[in-house]
Structure 1
Amino acid sequence: MRNLIKIFLITGLLLTGNLSQAQQSIRLNQGWQFLREDLGGIWEAVRPTNSNNPENVPLWQKVTLPHCFNAEDAVDPDHNYYQGPGWYRTRLSISNPHNNGRTLLHFEGAGQKTQVYVYTTLVGSHVGGYDEWTVDITDAVDAFKKTAVFQKQFKGQVPISIRCDNSRDLESMPSRLSDFMVYGGLYRYVNLVYTPALSIDKVFASSSLSDHLQGGKLDIKATFYNPDKVSSASGNFKITDAKGKIIADQKFNLKAIQSEVKFSLGQVNIKKPNLWSLNDPYLYAVEVTLQTSEGVVKQTEKVGFRDFLFADNGPFYLNGKRLLLRGTHRHEDHAGLAAAETDSIMRLEMQMIKDMGANFIRLGHYQQSRTILNLCDSLGILVWEEEPWCRGGLGGPVYQEQGRRMLTNMIEQHYNHPSIILWGLGNENDWEGDFQEFDQQKIRDYMSSQNNLAHQLDPSRKTTIRRCDFCKDIPDVYSPSIWAGWYRGQYTDYRKIAEEESKKVKHFFHAEWGGDSHAGRFSENADKAVVNLPDSNVHIAKENDWSENYITNLFDWHLKEQEKMPWLTGSAFWVFKDFATPVRPENPVPNVNQKGVVERDLTKKESYYVFQSYWSAKPMVHLFGHNWPVRWGKAGEQKLVKVYSNCDEAELFVNRKSYGKKQRNSQNFPAAGLHWMIDYQQGDNLLIVKARKDKLILTDTIYQQYQTEKWGKPVKLVLKKIAGKEGKVTVQAMLLDADNRLCLDAVNVVAFSLAGDGKLLDNLGTSRGSRKLQVYNGRAIISVDTNNGKSVIGVQSTGIESAFLNL
């Protein structure tokens, strides 16, 4: 059965009020069971148990959706993450209110290959972990209801079983060489949908502007799902503004309706439309109503009017004005959930991105949740979204057909989002390894065909790729690999390299830059290197020690330089949030790409505030080092103190003494001129900053110790309870030398363990949620859920005696 896509108003909730007349969608979050292994066959999922045969093996666990196979093992430091089949099952009370109606299961995404069963009947399958798809279960449900087991065994409910499989497969996108987990499971929402016999498949609302942005036009087209071949229908579409005022209402009549054939419903001209912009993301609503003798269907899409331009060898323009694209990236990945992000988590993450001041995001490296696109529309964030052709080269016919299908689905399913300006065709397609043959010309040919397909499906947007130099002439916009100061040279080389690369293509964008940082790790050396820039002879790249000092300086330098590049379209640093990856087991937090400005649980690193100080319009101030409890050096040695703020000026106080006011100047590196050299006193130090923005005064405060005693080699591990509340205990491990001094430059790997009633809160992929990790400045922290019992926590490091603590 061919896949069918249903686009709902918000996130799969009820579309319109009257159940007897309207398409209805119900989220299926509760009542699921899960098995992380394969079955011998579908019968094992539905066979009865009774007093004569009470065994029910294998054992299933209760779960709620969304759910991911790899919620914990993605960041397990000791084992590879699970790649294989898994099963879900539930029982549904199904009662379609429409005469001759269709009952559908709508999947917002499931990884990576999926089969759907009603009782023992296979009703549909899908390949691809990121696009939406629908299975029509009507006939199988009707047939099952006529069987004796419907009432006898299942008590009037319909058994639904779903097999997901993320097994390794060379002929499947994305490549398993990719620097991210290829997750398995029902990790996006699943919906039960009731429709009349004829329903709306997709609505395409194409908006355009003319007459110097003073005139707007909406061209409304639609496809329909019509398995019963309903011959005719009538309807209307309404256009309403953001206040709900109807500005157009047109009728249409349809005959000879064929499934998936695009029908034109009409056009509407709008005089002086409100433009969609970053500060005013104005959205119009297009409501299409379809009426037949079988029932009524309503579907609503949000659209916006905006004009954009990538100037030849020049900047980017939105609605006729130059705009520097200030962007980041995201993966669907979160601590304790992996890909199974809920709407509330996605809303929080996108709001944090907006609050940081970003106006652009690249959704790497696959089609992402409808919730994310809706949020980009409503928050005012421009989007680059791409198909999952990532690394590995080019596979055969099955592989290539999957790429065409996923590109088509992405464009058609997200066609109406005004936030999207770029369709990504691939990422790092010059990466060899998946196939014996690596043929650049064949990759070029396939890239060209995908480029043509994207323009055919959507002529209004541009195409792009990142890092495949032998294909850089194919898409409309190209992003090379630079990574100044991390994988390449020094960060002070950035502007020179970017200018050189920009001259090689007509439309240049800089995606992916930055570097890794281990949250909680700080370095005195990284800041020493910047005190006298640009005259310093220190080779900055040697100081990329994964400290938060180094990465904030790298970001700071790039941001100040970008303000002096009038030809630059924009950039997107990699990445907003740390995420799990199978190719980095040696990282300080194993199996985590730590290039985020927030950790995998959305805890902010210091670097978040660097971007906020350059990009955000809302006044803010942040003293660098909130999570840096101990600084070190010689007595009387001056130390660099940085303040990140977008205020006009700031005054620093250390131990109640003013070190004077500084004026903000983005070109005065570091920290845009808000930096001081101060004398710390040995022991405790109080730092306060007062920043002024017009008449508004903002303050920030931190406490730091200053250690002048030198330490030796770490020889001892000590465990100490540092917090405890409501059944949760937080423990700190410390590496000490022979004189019991904290070894502030130690980077040893430590491993926590637990015995007893409690549970170690690990496998979160964060600096405080991993049982094995590198220490930060001689210490490491983890928490335990005590379960109101007794436990013993231990910590060990190679060559050092283990330590234990009773909890």
Structure 2
Amino acid sequence: MNIIFKQLINLGCIACLFFSSSVHAQTVLDGRVSVDFSSNWKFRKEEASTDRIVKQKQREEIVDLPHTWNIADVMDDKPGYYRGATQYHNILYWKTAWQNKRIVLHVGAANQEATVFVNGKQVKAHIGGYTAFNVDITDYLNRRVNGKNTIVIQVTNRFNQDIAPLSGDFTFLGGIYRKVSLLLLDQIHFADPVYGSSGLRVNAKIDSSENATINLDGAIQNASASQQAIVIETTLMDADGVAVKKVQQKENLKPHSQHNFQLNIAEIEQPRLWSPDLPYLYRLITRIYDSNGRQLDHLDNSVGFRWFSFHPEKGFFLNGKPLKLVGASRHQDFKGMGNAVPDTLQIQDLVKLKAMGGNFLRVAHYPQDPAILKACDSLGLLASVEIPLVNEITESSTFAANSFQMQKEMIRQYFNHPSIIIWGYMNEIFLRPHFPKDKERQEKYFKSVVSLAEKLEALTRAEDTTRYTMIANHGNFDLYHRTGLTKVPMLVGWNLYPGWYGGKIADFGKQLEHIHQQLPEKPLLVTEYGADADYRIHSDKPVRFDKSIEYAIRYHQGYLNDILRKAFVAGGVAWNLSDFNSETREESMPHINTKGLLTWDRKAKDSYFLYQAYLKKAPFVKIGGTFGKKWAVRTEPDRALIGSGWLKLPIFSNADSVELLLDGISLGVSKPVDRMILWPVNLSRGLHTVKAQAFHNGKLSSVDEMVMDCEVLPYDLKKDKDWQELRINVGDNREYIDSMENRWFPDQPYERGSWGYLKGEKYRLKNTGRENLGTDVNIRGTGDDPLFQTQLQGLESYRFDLPNGNYEVELFFAELDGPNDKENLLYDLEQREKKQEKKGIDRVFDIRIGGHALAADLNVLREAGAFRGLRRKFQVKVHDDGNLVISFIPKKGEPILNAIRLKKINQSVNP
């Protein structure tokens, strides 16, 4: 059986077993038992957010964990989301079988401050929303038979200047968003009450001669009142369950104390190595026995033997062989779930990353569910993990202490995963520098950041001598280098976006060369790069910031080429594996960062297929996809086509050549350029079958086939009699797929015999140096923002040369020149210092067809408000002259139009 497949089955079984136990029906065996305590919690908000709702007594609801209270409010049209206090409480009934046990509450994660109360008494407070913590609640419990115990966990995700993250391009979703369990432990057990780990550190070492050892470093708690003699036993087993080595060691424990120990397994001969191609895992079972041979506790860890290094000129090496690290970063939220995502779905993210051909995961910008690292171990994905010091710090001893605690918790809780090769602790920390108007004070701030980095670096190296350390910086090389921050970590990561937030795609390679020349002694990793790719937006002429899938493809091609060709670049990490929630973002898809290779609900975009073509070793060919009901085909004015038109079909492949067949007829053979072909195809309205056949060395190697349902946008509406509906995104040169999966076509100026607008200027943001299409402000009251974010201003009319008949016309408006307090996107460095114009225009106009008034004195701002969609629908009849002219008559200011839909009501009507 394939080793990856086998280990994934084991991973799934372990996850199911771990959470299958019930707190009400549990057989307590010798040693450690984990009981799921995630059901039937009563939840309520402790206070109302004053900027959203009137203070009132919050209702209580029954929830299961994982849970977040921010699923809905991060996606609505109201700025902000609930960041405040909440309470979870549950009842625990004492079992007689627990009489000699320690009861430890294990909380997987609670964002971001949590306080645990048992029967009204505070037991523990935990700071930080991304790591687990343990609470021994035994001595606070009512231990009579069926004794009732009230467990309360107060949680708040309020802003706290002493807790990272302070800001970031992601949402700080509140909740107990990972599982909660009860650990039923013997009086003698492995323990780490301070940092939340299992209490056992497994350090598997192997050198270039493949001499392997395992060093165990552990802590044992003796909660009993007597001295105890114990035996620690650890057994290494191979993937088939065969014991490789067993070692025992005696220890004497003092009463009511914690005992630290070390245990080594030496001379492990010629172990099988762990790598992305063959992620071979051993299993290490470590037990505690009392003097009578009774098992008191046990821990089960995966072990992977590998060695690795980074070289500033030659890149990354694993097990002595060069390996280019290519993969993606990951945020942990999922559509409709926030951060409260079950393990099964989280693991699927890693399966998709592996299927993409990736070999590296940047766990950003915070530690994530242990299931993620377990999946990395099993699948063969190398990983970096970091704490959430993002954009800025607070210059306080409390902030520093909390950061140190986070770093130690991360390292100790995740240390045993062989997939991890890097610990990180800062990301773009100078992106939001404090004191911008006081340069002297700002320099002091920079020194504070560097000082904190130096302390975190020292802490990390003291905790773990086997991994590399890393800080990820944004593209302002001179600032990071001048302040000395680039000297601190072992690796320097760079989040680079030329061709997106500023500059050109071609600038990326030049920037890499510059960084390497200025910092030749440091290994270089590209820790972020990406372009927004709203899966609903397509363009034949993609430009920067148009949010189209096509521009993102062009962007990733340029970046991948440079990353793969430059030996000194250890690797590149796309931002991001999937789209994710960022409540403060607006743009084409409000509250979502759309740079993912997958959508928020994990559907593959064409950019994902591009990575497969670049990275997969097996033969690969894939026809690009569409998320709408139909494919868009457009008739061009210089081609005499009726009922058919042209589209450029994207095909992704690592093959030498690809043959395309349309409805069984070959359209010839073409060679991929940068792993892609844009194949011009003439298609008529209706269903067609396309098949792509890839050839390697002259032999057929892979095939992909698709049935396409084509919708034709005609140029001549009179000659093409089979069209039923036209949907035009006015003022836009992109195609858009709406929430009903209907496709809206680009606008065009009117030409005789066709359709389009007369006069009018496309709306553009003022005071911007980037290419842009319309506004980047959230349009309230709609999920189809791109329909309303572009418009024509000052248009005279919109004209259709039509057959006689009855039609329905729907006009779409939004006032884009209304007052706007939206801040420029923090990450758009080119625009951050520029102020957008904030004005209110009171425009009034009539809409007429010939002598008939459809609307009089239309004032979009007064009727709908600024940045809010308005629709008007009319029934019209075309006769005699065979054309429809919708006129916009200005009375005050310039008329506007954002989109137009024209639908036939019947096929033919006599004039």
Give, in angstroms, the shift of residue 230 of structure 1.
Answer: 5.1
Shift of the 57–284 alpha-carbon distance from structure 1 to 2, 3 Å rule, reads same
Residue in structure 2 matching 1:801, options 845, 859, 871: 871
CA distance in 1, matches of 2:741, 2:355: 32
Give, in angstroms, the shift of residue 433 of structure 1.
Answer: 5.5
Percent identity between matched residues is: 25
Residue in structure 2 matching 1:496, options 495, 510, 516: 510
Task: State the one-letter code of the partner of 1:23.
Answer: R
SS in 2 for 1:313: coil
What is the match of residue 534 of structure 2?
Answer: 518
- 1:70 partnered with 2:70: yes
What is the match of residue 327 of structure 2?
Answer: 327
What is the match of residue 785 of structure 2?
Answer: 773
Residue in structure 1 matching 2:634, options 632, 635, 649: 632
Question: Over alpha carbons, which structure has the higher Rg?
Answer: 2
Q: Deviations over 1:471-495 (max 9, x none)?
A: 1111011022321211232112322
Give, in angstroms, the shift of residue 714 of structure 1.
Answer: 5.7
Task: State the one-letter code of the partner of 2:407.
Answer: L
SS in 1 for 2:234: strand
- 1:650 partnered with 2:658: yes
SS in 2 for 1:549: helix
Alignment check: 8 A CA contact 1:683 1:707 kept = no
CA distance in 2, matches of 1:140, 1:795: 66
Of stretches 371-380 and 685-694 in structure 1, the one that deviates more from structure 2 is 685-694
CA distance in 1, matches of 2:225, 2:276: 44
Give, in angstroms, the shift of residue 634 of structure 1.
Answer: 2.1
Q: Deviations over 1:684-711 (max 9, x none)?
A: 7664322245444412223444435299
Alignment check: 8 A CA contact 2:588 2:778 kept = no
CA distance in 1, matches of 2:285, 2:397: 39
CA distance in 2, matches of 1:776, 1:573: 30
Alignment check: 8 A CA contact 1:687 1:703 kept = no
Instruction: Provide the TM-score with structure 1 as the length reference.
Output: 0.81
Gaps of 5+ in 2: 1-12, 49-55, 192-198, 474-479, 640-645, 717-725, 732-736, 764-772, 792-809, 815-859, 861-869, 875-900, 902-911
Alignment check: 8 A CA contact 2:102 2:187 kept = yes
Give, in angstroms, the shift of residue 380 of structure 1.
Answer: 0.4
SS in 1 for 2:355: helix
Residue in structure 1 matching 2:242, options 245, 248, 259: 245
- 1:186 partnered with 2:176: yes
Following superposition of structure 1 onto structure 2, how do residues 337-348 of structure 1 map, counting pairs within 5 Å? 337-348=337-348
Task: State the one-letter code of the partner of 1:630.
Answer: A
What is the match of residue 450 of structure 1?
Answer: 456
Alignment check: 8 A CA contact 2:657 2:694 kept = yes
- 1:676 partnered with 2:673: no
CA distance in 2, matches of 1:292, 1:442: 51
Alignment check: 8 A CA contact 1:38 1:87 kept = no
What is the match of residue 200 of structure 1?
Answer: 190
Following superposition of structure 1 onto structure 2, how do residues 436-447 of structure 1 map, counting pairs within 5 Å? 438=442, 439-447=445-453
What is the match of residue 703 of structure 2?
Answer: 698
Shift of the 262–333 alpha-carbon distance from structure 1 to 2, 3 Å rule, reads same
Gaps of 5+ in 1: 1-7, 40-55, 527-541, 717-721, 724-728, 754-769, 780-793
Give, in angstroms, the shift of residue 504 of structure 1.
Answer: 2.8
- 1:160 partnered with 2:151: yes
Following superposition of structure 1 onto structure 2, how do residues 311-460 of structure 1 map, counting pairs within 5 Å? 311-432=311-432, 438=442, 439-460=445-466
Task: State the one-letter code of the partner of 2:632.
Answer: V
Alignment check: 8 A CA contact 1:306 1:319 kept = yes
SS in 2 for 1:563: helix
Alignment check: 8 A CA contact 2:253 2:259 kept = no
SS in 1 for 2:589: coil
CA distance in 1, matches of 2:811, 2:203: 60
Residue in structure 2 matching 1:31, options 12, 37, 40: 40
Give, in angstroms, the shift of residue 342 of structure 1.
Answer: 0.4
Q: Deviations over 1:223-242 (max 9, x none)?
A: 12334465332231111111
Alignment check: 8 A CA contact 1:287 1:300 kept = yes
Q: Deviations over 1:641-670 (max 9, x none)?
A: 431023342112346553311234xxx34x
What is the match of residue 171 of structure 1?
Answer: 162
SS in 2 for 1:79: coil
SS in 2 for 1:238: strand
What is the match of residue 529 of structure 1?
Answer: none
CA distance in 2, matches of 1:435, 1:136: 44
Shift of the 289–751 alpha-carbon distance from structure 1 to 2, 3 Å rule, reads same
Shift of the 371–803 alpha-carbon distance from structure 1 to 2, 3 Å rule, reads farther
SS in 2 for 1:456: helix
Q: Deviations over 1:745-775 (max 9, x none)?
A: 997889797xxxxxxxxxxxxxxxx736324
CA distance in 2, matches of 1:618, 1:86: 51
Task: State the one-letter code of the partner of 1:265.
Answer: L
CA distance in 1, matches of 2:784, 2:678: 36
CA distance in 2, matches of 1:573, 1:548: 15
Task: State the one-letter code of the partner of 1:515.
Answer: A
Instruction: Provide the TM-score with structure 2 as the length reference.
Output: 0.72
Alignment check: 8 A CA contact 1:198 1:230 kept = no
Task: State the one-letter code of the partner of 1:442.
Answer: S
Shift of the 543–450 alpha-carbon distance from structure 1 to 2, 3 Å rule, reads closer
Task: State the one-letter code of the partner of 2:533.
Answer: S
Give, in angstroms, the shift of residue 625 of structure 1.
Answer: 4.5
Alignment check: 8 A CA contact 1:237 1:289 kept = yes
Of stretches 442-451 and 467-476 in structure 1, the one that deviates more from structure 2 is 467-476
Shift of the 297–776 alpha-carbon distance from structure 1 to 2, 3 Å rule, reads farther
Alignment check: 8 A CA contact 2:779 2:788 kept = no
CA distance in 2, matches of 1:292, 1:102: 17
Give, in angstroms, the shift of residue 560 of structure 1.
Answer: 2.8
What is the match of residue 50 of structure 1?
Answer: none
What is the match of residue 564 of structure 1?
Answer: 565
SS in 2 for 1:302: strand
Alignment check: 8 A CA contact 1:67 1:340 kept = yes
Shift of the 223–10 alpha-carbon distance from structure 1 to 2, 3 Å rule, reads farther
SS in 2 for 1:774: helix
Shift of the 329–390 alpha-carbon distance from structure 1 to 2, 3 Å rule, reads same
Task: State the one-letter code of the partner of 2:126.
Answer: H
Give, in angstroms, the shift of residue 124 of structure 1.
Answer: 1.5
CA distance in 1, matches of 2:94, 2:619: 53
Following superposition of structure 1 onto structure 2, how do residues 203-282 of structure 1 map, counting pairs within 5 Å? 203-210=200-207, 212-228=208-224, 231-232=227-228, 233-256=230-253, 262-282=260-280
Q: Deviations over 1:183-207 (max 9, x none)?
A: 2111011001110111112111111
Task: State the one-letter code of the partner of 2:165.
Answer: P
Give, in angstroms, the shift of residue 561 of structure 1.
Answer: 3.1
Shift of the 222–543 alpha-carbon distance from structure 1 to 2, 3 Å rule, reads closer
- 1:21 partnered with 2:18: no
Following superposition of structure 1 onto structure 2, how do residues 110-121 of structure 1 map, counting pairs within 5 Å? 110-121=110-121
| Equivalent residue pairs, number | 709
Alignment check: 8 A CA contact 2:236 2:283 kept = yes
CA distance in 2, matches of 1:335, 1:473: 40
RMSD value over aligned CA atoms?
Answer: 3.6
Shift of the 603–311 alpha-carbon distance from structure 1 to 2, 3 Å rule, reads same
Task: State the one-letter code of the partner of 2:624.
Answer: F
Give, in angstroms, the shift of residue 59 of structure 1.
Answer: 2.3
CA distance in 1, matches of 2:502, 2:257: 52
Residue in structure 2 matching 1:466, options 446, 461, 472: 472
CA distance in 1, matches of 2:249, 2:755: 80
CA distance in 2, matches of 1:797, 1:156: 64
CA distance in 2, matches of 1:742, 1:279: 56
Following superposition of structure 1 onto structure 2, how do residues 709-728 of structure 1 map, counting pairs within 5 Å? 709=715
Alignment check: 8 A CA contact 2:113 2:128 kept = yes
